[in-house]
Amino acid sequence: MKLSIIMPAYNERRTIEEIVKRVLAVDLPGITKEIVIVDDASSDGTADILKTMDGRDGIRVFTQAPNQGKGAAVARGFRKATGDILLIQDADLEYDPAEYPNLLGPILRGDADVVYGSRFLGSPHGQRVLYFWHSVGNRLLTLLSNAITDLNLTDMETCYKAFTRQVASRLDLRSRRFGIEPEMTCKVARLRARIYEIPISYHGRTYAEGKKIGFMDAVQAAWTILRYARWSPRE
Q: Report d(CA 136, CA 107) in Å as an integer.
A: 30
CA distances to 40, 140, 190, 202 from 15, rounded to whole Å, are: 15, 30, 36, 16
Specify the pLDDT at position 217: 73
Q: Report d(CA 220, CA 235) in Å as an integer.
A: 28
Q: Is 130 helix (H, G, I), strand (E, B) or coil?
A: coil
Specify the pLDDT at position 131: 59
Specify the pLDDT at position 125: 61
Q: Report d(CA 184, CA 78) in Å as an integer.
A: 12
What is the Cα gyration radius of the chain? Answer: 16
Specify the pLDDT at position 48: 97
Specify the pLDDT at position 141: 92
- What order do you get walking across the sheet with 114-118 strand by strand? 59-63, 32-39, 2-9, 85-88, 161-164, 114-118, 195-199
**Cα dihedral across residues 61, 212, 121, 190: positive or negative:** negative
Domain covering 2-227 in this structure, CATH number:
3.90.550.10
Q: Which residues contact 158 (CB under 8 A, 6 or more apart)?
A: 116, 117, 118, 119, 181, 200
Q: Along the chain (235 residues), what's the average pLDDT of each consecutive run of 10 residues?
A: 97 97 97 98 97 97 95 97 98 95 97 96 65 76 96 96 97 91 97 97 66 70 91 78
Q: Which residues contact 143 (CB under 8 A, 6 or more apart)?
A: none
Specify the pLDDT at position 126: 62
Specify the pLDDT at position 138: 82
The model's pLDDT over 23-82, given as tens digits with 9 standing for 90+, comes to 999 999 999 999 999 999 999 999 999 999 999 999 999 999 999 999 999 999 999 999
Q: Which residues contact 208 (CB under 8 A, 6 or more apart)?
A: none
Is 138 within 8 Å of 130 (Cβ atoms)? no
Residue ranges covered by each domain of the chain: 2-227
pTM of the model: 0.90
> Cβ atoms within 10 A of the Cβ of 150, count?
7
